[in-house]
Structure 1
Amino acid sequence: MNETKNNIGNYSATRRKKAKTTAPTTHGICRMDEVGKRQFGNKERQAEIGSGIGTFHAFLKTCFMPKLKEDKIFSWEDKLHITKIEKGFYKSLSLLIKHYGISPLSTHDFNYPYNISLCLWDVQRQLKSKIQNWENIHLIEKEDRIFFVAQERYNTGATLYYIPVIPLYQMLRNKNRKKTGLLLLSVCTYLYRIADIPYYRQEDSHLYWIYEMLTEWLEQDEEVDDNHISKKELQKAEIIGDIMGQKIACKENLLFFEERLKQFKPKDNFDNECFLLAEKTFNLYREYPNASVFRNTYYNNVVRPEEADEDEYYNEETIITMDKYISFFAESDGLIYDNLMDCVNNEFNEYGEAQEPMIFKTFDGSNVTHENLDFESRLFGILNELCRLFN
């Protein structure tokens, strides 16, 4: 793995103290993997299922439905209420399968609650294999209604997407790579101006303050003089960063983007890779001319703040926000880079989750959004490839 695309320390193992569990206004959530814990219990005996094997070993080869614990909360439910639950379940299911184009297993021959349990398992299995960026599905009971809520989420893989600008600066000054540099400059301008990727020389970016902190540390260190390599690296990051910031922010790079693609003639494999990346970026820009990388992100990953506990939602940030792990920065080499990575990893180790693009779709009879995470999937692929080319 290249140095710019970094795994975030021990990110996946370190956990912050968890906040209180979200308290939605719904009466309950039944996830696919929680079916055995919370069932709308049925006192009737399940239908027996035999293996059809006629040998004396048949018992060992027989598949039995799992025994479910009856929940006291629902032990009083009569057939009328169960019928209402099943009606709501299958009505919502019909909306879901129409939206995603799947063919669920027929479960009408099974008694309640096995019909719902089996159907949930099958739907989850199909959606996981068919839908890109599939996350999970919930079965919600709210105000005497039963319906599905599906979640799609792009998995960033606990990865830092830090794009170095000094390599681009060097390409633009290299006679043999200038045209390639101009092509990638258009890519970076799109990422900055349209996709809203933060730039480290701007005060509202997260990395700006980390560079400032490193500068203060060096100034307070009496053993570090003005000729120390770390100070020179910081000066380089500041000066070139300001120069490239102006170039990347120039909107003319977008106006010339298509023309640069048409006139570009790759000289070697590197040029060809840069051309293919620029072509992907231009196509994404043309299909999503105003889309930001933050368009499907939510504070603390809470999609519906009105259903979240107020203390959990408003008190503090409990996740790594996307602007902290996606950014332009100086370079992926040197002492300053090493210290920068240490600072970032130490901070991120305090969190247990990262902000990621996500979409929720509710199948309760209201209009279902046809949004997806196609833009995010392609954009993160471009970021990953650009980081690789600059390293």
Structure 2
Amino acid sequence: MDYAQTYHIGNNQATRTKKTKTVVQTAQRVRPMDAKTQRCERGSKRQTQVSTCGNVANGFLKTSFLPRLKETQTVQACKETVKTESDFYQSLSKLAEHYKIKPIQTSQFEYPYNLALAIWDMEEKLKESVMNWQEIRLVQDSKRTYFISEEKYNTGTTLYYIPIEPLYQMLHDPKRKRNAQLLISVCSYLYHIADIPYFRQEDSYLYWMYEMHKEWVEQDDETDENIVYKLEFEKAEFIGDCIEQKIFNPMSLQVFAQRLNTFKRSDAFDHECWLTASNAFALLTEYPKASIFRNAPMPEQDPDSYEDDNETIGMEKYISFISHTKGWLYENLAESINNEFNEYAAMQEPTICKRFDKKVVTKNTLDFENRLFTLLDDMCSLLYNYKTTRK
């Protein structure tokens, strides 16, 4: 076995001969060296001559200039850092201008602490001043570095189910008939323009929930209790079809302004109905074509997006008209819905992503969604708490 020789330059004393220790056998089965083998002694003040091996030109070609290569890599890394910082601060400036926020000065700090500090500062200020702000992401593609800001309306775990049976009762209440007509115009707006699903439409989520529970009841034994349950479904279908005809009628939307302007308020319930209708009419005026699904996240063009889509609760599942939010039928529906929703990983919610690069930044906001979900909440509460004055 050959060993590299170390050559000491200068005056050296004769080195003492060392006996080789026994080598522990390894997995490669390296044979131990003979302990009797000794190295040759060298006299002092002598230097072994070293000659080059092979052609000098070939040796030059085979030489690796590591220091120069390292320098080149360092220069390239520095250039990339400078560009990253430049892109970063340009994007940060656009983001700050868009949200009217004054960012902290961090350019005096070293990279990458300056970037981390700027991001932290911006996140804190966005959290305090921008409604619906969710997060910012720093993205680096092959061309540039830029920010993406995400705004999202947080629906929590709320079921926005608008009960229409109280509206039917209100129509047959002489004292509240005008209230009912005004609220029918509100529902007509929600039905036609805001695109709220209706539980009697076959393509709606709640339609199939009703059908599933109806089949279960029909498969049960015929008992007095079972007959009552069947009547519940018949009632829900009858009232549902009746109210849908009224809100589907385009005239209900056309006379919305007239009903609102001529509505007389005599008590707290009247005022609550008028205020809810006023908010709905303001939305209709400012956003005459806006649907509640306008900012619903779209599935990405990704082979794996189908699985992700199946793990997300779609907005059409927790927003809808419904027969009622009281009684045996609703309690059973709600239990099934909650059990199903517990199987999902996330909820689909209105979301806007804004990209701060060289392109024009979208000016879209979630103002419509903020106001519409408040309107849905008001409608649900108003109809849920309605008590007929009929005796």
TM-score under structure 1 normalisation?
Answer: 0.77
Question: Which deviates more from structure 2 when the two are superposed, residues 126-135 or residues 369-378?
Answer: 126-135
The superposition leaves residues 249-308 of structure 1 with CA deviations (integer Å, 9 ceiling, x where unpaired) of 111111111111111111210110110010000000000000000001124xx4xx24xx
Deviation at 1:99, TM superposition (A): 1.2
User: 1:210 & 1:221 partners in 2: Cα distance?
Assistant: 17
Contact persistence 2:220–2:226 (CA under 8 A): no
Q: Secondary structure at the match of 1:159?
A: coil
2:337 is aligned to 344
Superposition map of 1:248-263 within 5 A: 248-263=247-262
For the pair 1:180 / 2:173, whether they are aligned, the reply is no
Q: Secondary structure at the match of 1:98?
A: helix
- Pick aligned residue for 1:327 from 320, 324, 345: 320
For the pair 1:155 / 2:154, whether they are aligned, the reply is yes
Query: Cα–Cα, structure 1 residues 355 and 143, in superposed 2: closer, same or farther, change >3 Å?
Result: same
Question: Which deviates more from structure 2 when the two are superposed, residues 76-85 or residues 153-162?
Answer: 76-85
Contact persistence 2:151–2:353 (CA under 8 A): yes
2:265 is aligned to 266
1:287 is aligned to 286
User: 2:181 & 2:147 partners in 1: Cα distance?
Assistant: 49
Contact persistence 1:218–1:224 (CA under 8 A): no
2:361 is aligned to 368
User: 1:145 & 1:227 partners in 2: Cα distance?
Assistant: 67
Superposition map of 1:23-34 within 5 A: none
Superposition map of 1:204-283 within 5 A: 204-225=203-224, 228-283=227-282
Deviation at 1:315, TM superposition (A): 7.5
Query: Cα–Cα, structure 1 residues 315 and 274, in superposed 2: closer, same or farther, change >3 Å?
Result: closer
Q: Secondary structure at the match of 1:359?
A: strand
Aligned residues: 312
User: 2:275 & 2:123 partners in 1: Cα distance?
Assistant: 36
Query: Cα–Cα, structure 1 residues 204 and 367, in superposed 2: closer, same or farther, change >3 Å?
Result: same
Which residue type is aligned with residue 102 of structure 2? S
Contact persistence 2:84–2:145 (CA under 8 A): yes
User: 2:84 & 2:223 partners in 1: Cα distance?
Assistant: 71
Which residue type is aligned with residue 165 of structure 2? I
Which structure has the bigger radius of gyration? 2
Deviation at 1:96, TM superposition (A): 1.0
Deviation at 1:228, TM superposition (A): 2.8
Contact persistence 2:283–2:368 (CA under 8 A): yes
Which residue type is aligned with residue 310 of structure 2? E
1:389 is aligned to 382
Deviation at 1:190, TM superposition (A): 0.3
Which residue type is aligned with residue 194 of structure 1? I
User: 2:93 & 2:206 partners in 1: Cα distance?
Assistant: 48
Query: Cα–Cα, structure 1 residues 322 and 224, in superposed 2: closer, same or farther, change >3 Å?
Result: farther
1:46 is aligned to none
User: 1:161 & 1:341 partners in 2: Cα distance?
Assistant: 12
Q: Secondary structure at the match of 2:358?
A: coil
Deviation at 1:229, TM superposition (A): 2.2
Superposition map of 1:52-131 within 5 A: 78-131=77-130
* Identity within the alignment, %: 50
For the pair 1:310 / 2:309, whether they are aligned, the reply is no
Q: Which runs of 5+ in 1 are unaligned?
A: 1-73
Q: Secondary structure at the match of 2:175?
A: coil
Q: Secondary structure at the match of 1:240?
A: helix
User: 1:77 & 1:116 partners in 2: Cα distance?
Assistant: 20
User: 2:308 & 2:368 partners in 1: Cα distance?
Assistant: 31
Q: Which runs of 5+ in 2 are unaligned?
A: 1-72, 385-391
Query: Cα–Cα, structure 1 residues 315 and 107, in superposed 2: closer, same or farther, change >3 Å?
Result: closer
Deviation at 1:325, TM superposition (A): 0.3
The superposition leaves residues 61-88 of structure 1 with CA deviations (integer Å, 9 ceiling, x where unpaired) of xxxxxxxxxxxxx999732221111011
Contact persistence 1:233–1:334 (CA under 8 A): no
Query: Cα–Cα, structure 1 residues 363 and 315, in superposed 2: closer, same or farther, change >3 Å?
Result: closer
User: 1:388 & 1:248 partners in 2: Cα distance?
Assistant: 19
User: 1:149 & 1:87 partners in 2: Cα distance?
Assistant: 16
User: 2:107 & 2:308 partners in 1: Cα distance?
Assistant: 47
2:11 is aligned to none
Deviation at 1:227, TM superposition (A): 6.5
Contact persistence 2:201–2:207 (CA under 8 A): yes
Q: Secondary structure at the match of 1:99?
A: helix
Which residue type is aligned with residue 338 of structure 2? N
